[in-house]
Structures are given as C-alpha cells and as structure tokens.
Amino acid sequence: MPNIISQGRYLFKPEKDFLKYLKRIIGFSPRNCTLYQLACIHKSSSFVVFKDLKINNERLEFLGDAILDALVAKRLFLKFPEKDVGFLTQMRSKIVSRDNLNNIAVKLGISNMIITRVSSENHKSLYGDALEALIGALFLDKGFKKTEKIVLERIIYPFINLNTLQDTEVDFKSRIIEWGQKNRKEVSFACFEEVDSKKNTTYFVSHLVIADNLIGRGTGNSKKEAEQNAARQGLEKLNISSV
C-alpha cells in the first residue's frame, strides 16, 4: 500500500464535491488526497493494481476501527472517573455501534463520497465503515494527536450527547448474556459466513441459542453486527425489557 500511495498525488482526479465534503469532515483540504480517496472505495468497487492486489477501504477501516475505539475509550475514561468498566464498555459500544456511525456518516456527507456497486439497504454498515476508514486515513496522514482533536471536535461533540446516550440501549448481546447469567440459562452464539452469489458478496449469520433452543437469528456485514441483531431478536422474542 505505501508504494501505491507514493506513486502519485491522486488515485483519480478528485471532484470538487469530494474535496468539499472532505473539508467539511476534517476541516481542511489535504495536499495528498490518495488516502482519503482510498477510504471511500467500497470492496464492491475494488480494482486491481497489479497481480492479485485489490484496492479498497477494508484495511483503512480495520485501522480506523481500532483508532476510534482507543479515542472513545480515552474520552470516556476521563469523562466518567467514577464509573466502572462495565459502564465504560457499554457506553463505548453505543458510540461506535453500526447504527450510530452510519447516522453520523450520512450527516457528515460521506454517503455522497463513497464509490460502491451495492446499496446501503443491503449493506447497512456501508457508511459507518467508510467513516472508520476515513479515520484510519486521517491517522496515517496526521498522526494520533491530530486525529484525536478532529474526531472529538467534528464527530463526537457535534453528534453525540453522552448524557442522552446513557439511556439508549444498543448492546443487545451484553443484555442477553446478563439475563442468562441472572436466570441461570446457558447463552451462546453460533456465527458463520455465507455467500450471496447474486451480488458476489459475503455476509455473516448468527444464531442465538439459549438452553439448546434457537431463540434469535441475525445477519450483518460483520460477526459483531450479526450477533447484535440475533440478540435483539432474542430479547424481543423473550419479551425482556430489562435485566
């Protein structure tokens, strides 16, 4: 990847709209847009540079996911010094949830920047994944300190109300596990990968099993998303409103 990035200023000539949306997100127009352009190429629109090397935003998404987790964890650690690890973990899950990141990405205009051959209806994490990829690109371009400043000032503070978020439930998996522990029920998740031959894409399917009974089934573009959806269905089926 470093060789590809250093080969030229752009992977392709950026349109004015791309630069406009990018500046709105990060606050400036970088001289080298290659990383940021790469962050907006969904795997469905991958292109081969040489041999079998495919170019898309998956690697940057992986990096951005880790960076975002670290930034959010640090922010929560400082914001809530009296809270325990369980609370901090749940709050982080709410902030970096697919639904939350997707909504933020749309508000930022990332939906207008993505190069893809699939729709967001079938790939619900499309926009949130691109947001994480942009954070990965920003980290490589500007380092951790500058990335932290931009993420907090332009993503966390404008779009996330920590006080309101405390009352919002998104970590369905943790809830069902806690319910199982409280009621002495064995809770497990079985997750496997499926292939959509028509769209030439892969997705994950998760089964929620409680006491040898299939209680919930969920799908998603990641194992984590599939498990959350299975847990949500299980909570609804068992009519569990609190644990």
Residues carrying an active site annotation:
65, 132
Packing angle of the helix pair 172-182, 85-95 (nearest 10 deg):
150
Q: Taking a C-beta distance cutoff of 8 angstroms, is the pair 26, 111 a contact?
A: no
SS3 content of the chain, % helix, strand, coil (to 5): 55, 15, 30
What are the tokens at 211? 């006491």
- What are the angstrom distances between the C-alpha of 29 and each of 24, 141, 175? 9, 12, 43
Buried b (16+ CB within 10 A) or exposed e, 176-213: bbbbbeeeeeebebebeeeeeeeeebebbbbbbbbeee
- H-helix or E-strand spanning residue 47: strand 47-48
Distance CA 22, CA 4 (A): 21
Distance CA 241, CA 77 (A): 28
